[in-house]
């Protein structure tokens, strides 16, 4: 409010308080999608329609998608500790594979991604290749994709270029994967994309609405009745601090839960 700290620094501070760290792919710092405009020739940061709705999680960015997730929640009877537990989302907005997929064009993330994928790059059509198509998948098209962003989207142009000339494969439409496809307003320049994206994060609109996203990820809408109302509940295994693994005697169930958490991500500690 006093303009003494940037939105970026504030988010990094919250991530640190919530136990997120660059040293842990499974609990990597999580940042929000802030824009919804990946098609315009120029970016208008004074137009509210340019921005993502920060008061809603990625699963509720469109009315149709929101209703589908509410329907899923209502259809499953509450069964604690079961894989079919009542929740809106069975996937997470931040996980090791999401982090590695974003940074796959840079080492050591390339090797990390391959090791998570069983030794090779993923099918080309599933690789991170376009900012626009990733936004459309996470906000509208893919019911198993509710990913948010990582801090690098706001300061590191290098992760958007295939400077190491990795052979990432060829998509079904014939497109050979190389550099990440950028929105028209970036003019094909990763530095311009990062500059404008950072300006968007620090814009008046985001400054005025960012607290609503913080409520969802780090605050009171993270779990409980407020989370249900906000269409923001995840599988019980994602809430690491709510799971008392010491009381689980069955080693198979325990290893299943740990595998689930390591593969699919964890909710940050509530701040």
Query: pLDDT confidence of 241, banded at 50, 70, 90?
Result: low
* φ/ψ bin of 15: left (φ > 0), alpha (ψ from -120 to 50), beta (otherwise): alpha
Q: What is the mean pLDDT of residues 253-269?
A: 79
CA 164 vs CA 121, 158, 179, 206: distances in Å: 14, 11, 10, 34
Whether residue 234 has pLDDT greater than 90: yes
Domain covering 7-264: architecture: Orthogonal Bundle (1.10)
Q: What is the pLDDT of residues 130-173, one digit of tens each?
A: 999 999 999 999 999 999 999 999 999 999 999 999 999 999 99
- C-alpha 51/C-alpha 34 separation (Å) is 6
Is-contact 265 237, C-beta < 8 A? no
- C-alpha 222/C-alpha 231 separation (Å) is 10
Q: Would you list the domain boundaries of the chain?
A: 7-264
Whether residue 265 has pLDDT greater than 90: no
Query: pLDDT confidence of 121, banded at 50, 70, 90?
Result: confident
pLDDT at 80: 52
Q: What is the pLDDT of residues 75-110, one digit of tens each?
A: 886 555 555 678 999 899 999 999 999 999 999 999
Weakest-pLDDT range from 25-39, 112-126, 167-181, 184-198: 112-126
pLDDT at 235: 87
Tokens of 221: 């809408």
In order, the DSSP letters of 129-175 are -BHHHHHHIIIII-TT----B-GGGGT-GGGGS-TT-----B-TTSP
Closest of 98, 204, 104 to residue 148, by C-alpha: 98
Q: Give the percent of the chain with pLDDT over 70.
A: 94
Closest of 51, 19, 14 to residue 33, by C-alpha: 51
**Number of Cβ atoms within 10 Å of the Cβ of 47:** 11
**pTM score of the predicted model:** 0.92
Q: What is the mean pLDDT of residues 181-194?
A: 98
- C-alpha 94/C-alpha 148 separation (Å) is 7
């Amino acid at each position: 409010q006093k303009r003494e700290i940037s939105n970026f620094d504030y988010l990094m501070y919250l991530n640190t308080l919530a136990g997120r760290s660059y040293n842990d792919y499974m609990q990597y710092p999580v940042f929000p999608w802030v824009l919804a405009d990946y098609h315009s020739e120029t970016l208008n940061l004074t137009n509210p329609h340019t921005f993502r709705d920060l008061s809603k999680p990625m699963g509720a960015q469109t009315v149709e998608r929101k209703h589908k997730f509410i329907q899923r929640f209502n259809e499953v009877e509450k069964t604690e500790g079961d894989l079919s537990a009542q929740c809106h989302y069975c996937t997470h907005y931040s996980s090791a594979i999401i982090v590695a997929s974003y940074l796959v064009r840079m080492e050591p993330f390339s090797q990390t991604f391959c090791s998570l994928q069983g030794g090779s790059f993923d099918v080309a059509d599933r690789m991170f290749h376009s900012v626009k198509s990733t936004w459309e998948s996470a906000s509208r098209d893919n019911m198993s994709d509710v990913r948010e962003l990582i801090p690098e989207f706001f300061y590191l142009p290098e992760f958007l270029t295939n400077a190491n000339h990795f052979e990432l494969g060829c998509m079904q439409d014939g497109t050979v994967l190389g550099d990440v496809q950028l929105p028209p307003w970036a003019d094909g320049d990763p530095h311009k994309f990062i500059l404008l994206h950072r300006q968007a994060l620090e814009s008046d609109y985001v400054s005025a609405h960012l607290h609503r996203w913080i409520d969802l990820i780090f605050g009171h809408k993270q779990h409980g009745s407020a989370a249900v109302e906000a269409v923001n509940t995840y599988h019980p295994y994602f809430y690491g601090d709510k799971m008392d693994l010491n009381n689980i005697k069955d080693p198979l169930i325990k290893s299943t839960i740990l595998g689930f958490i390591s593969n699919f991500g964890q909710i940050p500690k509530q701040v």
